[in-house]
């Protein structure tokens, strides 16, 4: 055992010397640009092997750096040493999550397939110190990209994935279910990927669970799959952390070179920038530089630009000059499709009736849908049998307890029509008289309050109205309720809208 460990360490030492020599010949910046996480150098069967994630990268390394690689190998092992090249597609796996100074954060995902040997380097985030990995000094100097045969785990994993951070597979656009709640944003992303810079910046917003992160990860994965691009994807919190580190360490030029030298910059959760004026100013200049040079910016937040006024007029104007896409809570049709997709991935047997009941009872939050499917799957595994419909309903009652029947759009339509003495066809018509438009606005307001239906779904149900019409109705009725406004009733009298709402809600919960 001791002899084996000595052999492994000796092999590791050889590879680390080759890597260190190659870095000295190329310089640290060129080395980091070309021999990053998409490559590995290892010792196998007595020869040095350069491993790349793709045929494209392997050929570029062979043509561009064969002489330098051979020189580094000869200096370490002598003139008879051989150099080989091979492909390992697993090196191109999606990025892992990493932990930053403010807690667990999404790691920076970087692709630089198109850089020339003398191109400006684009680093992949802060380096991990030798103390944090426990790796030998020379291995750390070589950035840890070594492996000896099949007996060693690649040390690059220690640098790419800090201790305690779990790896995960990034989502892609193909697995993102399309529906009325997200189809505009998905289409915009596809156009942007096909013609970068034509929709710039692309800004998506929506509450938690609407698919923002899935969409951004899908954009990153697709941009990387197409190759030839330098892409960075990070959170606003990470951008802020690295910017402050650059300020404190006098590394601002390198920071700007990195983030203003990419082809696609994706930043999530930009509401985090609120109150951070210096970072906002830096981001504004970064966006301006990328736009001026025809390169793409994608931003996301949990609120619309009008609700992010503290980001400043200049940044908001820049955001609104591109394309703003809202992601709404998943409508019932999309919820059902998502549930069916998740069940198939888990090999969970659900009938059509099961899917219908679950879609009716669950909110339009994809994360909650994932949690529910996990609960159903775990219960099925525990009983080693498919779940009965009664078991599924019991689990739904546990996760989403209700004191009365679930409120549906049909229920709201019925009680509003009864209250105002009109039929459903009239309620859904395009008539704009107060006798019809006020009940319709009340119905939309009740739908937003008491159902999980998305804006587009509500608008479609009440006469194919646009989602902006639903938003307008919601705001107007909310103002009526807050101000105690009175509206006309079928009895030709005016009544406080709060009393009307209370009566309608009582009928909904009694039904």
> What pTM does this model have?
0.52
Instruction: Give the least confident one: 114-118, 179-183, 184-188, 392-396.
Output: 114-118
| CATH architecture of structural domain 332-399 | Orthogonal Bundle (1.10)
Band (pLDDT 50/70/90 cuts) for residue 228 is low
- Give the whole-angstrom CA distance, residue 351 versus residue 339: 11
CA 61, CA 81: separation in Å to the nearest integer?
18
Task: List, in sequence order, every beta strand (DSSP E) within 302-432.
Answer: 323-326
pLDDT at 247 over 80: yes
pLDDT at 99 over 50: no
Give the sign of the dihedral formed by CA 43, CA 44, CA 48, CA 51: negative
CATH number at 409-510: 1.10.1750.10
Model confidence pLDDT, tens digit, residues 307-366: 888 888 889 999 999 999 988 888 888 888 888 888 888 888 888 888 888 888 887 788
Do the domains spanning 173-326 and 332-399 agree at the CATH topology level?
Answer: no
Mean pLDDT (the chain, rounded): 77
For residue 232, list its beta bridge partners: 110, 265
When pLDDT is averaged across residues 79-94 and rounded to a whole number, the result is 75
Residue with more model confidence, 170 or 352? 352
What is the C-alpha to C-alpha distance for residues 415 and 511, in angstroms, rounded to an integer? 10
CA–CA separation, 153 vs 93, rounded Å?
16
Taking alpha carbons only, the member of 221, 217, 222, 223 closest to residue 204 is: 217
**pLDDT over 60 at 119, yes or no:** no
Q: Is the pLDDT of residue 403 over 50?
A: no
User: Buried b vs exposed e over 331-340: b needs ≥16 C-beta within 10 Å?
Assistant: bbebbbbbbb
E strand residue ranges, 399-502: 486-488, 494-496
Asked if CATH classification 3.40.50.300 holds for the domain at 173-326, the reply, yes or no, is: yes
Q: Strand pairing partners for 105?
A: 98
pLDDT digits (tens, 9 = 90+) for 65-75: 888 898 888 88
Under 8 Å between Cβ of 74 and 211: no
DSSP string, 448-478: HHH----HHHHHHHTTS--HHHHHHHHHHHH
The angle that helices 366-383 and 332-345 make with each other, rounded to 10 degrees, is 40
Domain positions in the chain: 2-91, 173-326, 332-399, 409-510
CATH class, domain 2-91, is alpha beta
First-to-last CA distance in the chain? Answer: 75
Select, from the ranges 70-74, 115-119, 504-508, the one with the highest average predicted confidence (pLDDT).
Answer: 70-74
Confidence bin at 29 (pLDDT 50/70/90): low
Q: What is the pLDDT of residues 129-160, one digit of tens each?
A: 223 333 333 333 333 333 333 322 222 222 22
Closest alpha carbon to 133 in 166, 104, 158: 158
């Amino acid at each position: 055992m001791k002899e084996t460990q000595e052999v492994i360490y000796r092999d590791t030492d050889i590879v680390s010397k080759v890597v260190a020599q190659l870095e000295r010949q190329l310089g640290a910046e060129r080395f980091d640009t070309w021999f990053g996480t998409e490559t590995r150098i290892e010792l196998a069967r007595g020869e040095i092997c350069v491993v790349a994630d793709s045929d494209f990268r392997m050929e570029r390394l062979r043509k561009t750096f064969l002489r330098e690689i051979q020189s580094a190998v000869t200096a370490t092992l002598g003139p008879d040493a051989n150099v080989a090249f091979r492909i390992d597609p697993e090196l191109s796996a999606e990025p892992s999550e990493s932990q930053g100074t403010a807690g667990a954060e999404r790691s920076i995902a970087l692709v630089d397939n198109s850089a020339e040997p003398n191109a400006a380097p684009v680093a992949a985030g802060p380096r991990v110190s030798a103390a944090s990995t426990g790796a030998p000094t020379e291995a750390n100097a070589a950035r840890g990209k070594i492996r000896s045969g099949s007996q060693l785990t690649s040390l690059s994993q220690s640098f790419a994935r800090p201790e305690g951070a779990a790896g995960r597979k990034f989502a892609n656009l193909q697995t993102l279910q399309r529906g009325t709640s997200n189809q505009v944003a998905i289409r915009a992303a596809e156009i942007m990927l096909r013609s970068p810079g034509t929709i710039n910046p692309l800004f998506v917003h929506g509450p938690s669970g609407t698919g923002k992160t899935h969409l951004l990860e899908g954009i990153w994965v697709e941009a990387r799959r197409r190759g030839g691009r330098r892409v960075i994807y990070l959170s606003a919190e990470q951008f802020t952390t690295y910017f402050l580190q650059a300020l404190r360490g006098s590394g601002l030029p390198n920071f700007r070179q990195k983030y203003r030298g990419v082809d696609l910059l994706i930043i999530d959760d930009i509401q985090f920038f609120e109150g951070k004026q210096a970072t906002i100013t830096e981001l504004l200049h970064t966006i301006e530089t990328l736009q001026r040079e025809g390169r793409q910016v994608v931003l996301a937040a949990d609120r619309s630009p009008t609700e992010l006024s503290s980001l400043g007029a200049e940044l908001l104007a820049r955001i609104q000059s591109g394309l703003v896409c809202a992601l709404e809570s998943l409508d019932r049709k999309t919820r059902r499709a998502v549930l069916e997709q998740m069940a198939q991935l888990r090999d969970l047997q659900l009938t059509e009736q099961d899917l219908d009941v679950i879609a009716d009872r669950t909110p339009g939050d994809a994360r909650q849908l994932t949690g529910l499917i996990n609960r159903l799957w775990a219960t099925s595994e525990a009983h080693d049998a498919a779940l009965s419909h009664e078991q599924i309903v019991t689990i739904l009652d546990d996760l989403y307890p209700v004191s009365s029947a679930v409120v549906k759009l049909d229920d709201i339509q019925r009680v509003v029509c009864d209250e105002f003495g009109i039929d459903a066809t009239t309620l859904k018509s395009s008539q704009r008289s107060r006798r019809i438009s006020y009940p319709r606005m009340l119905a939309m307001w009740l739908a937003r309050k008491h159902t999980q239906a998305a804006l587009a779904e509500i608008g479609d149900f009440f006469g194919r109205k646009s989602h902006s019409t639903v938003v307008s109705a919601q705001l107007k009725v909310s103002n009526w309720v807050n101000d105690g406004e009175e509206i006309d009733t079928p009895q030709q009298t005016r009544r406080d809208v709060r009393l009307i709402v209370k009566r309608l809600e009582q009928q909904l919960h009694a039904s």
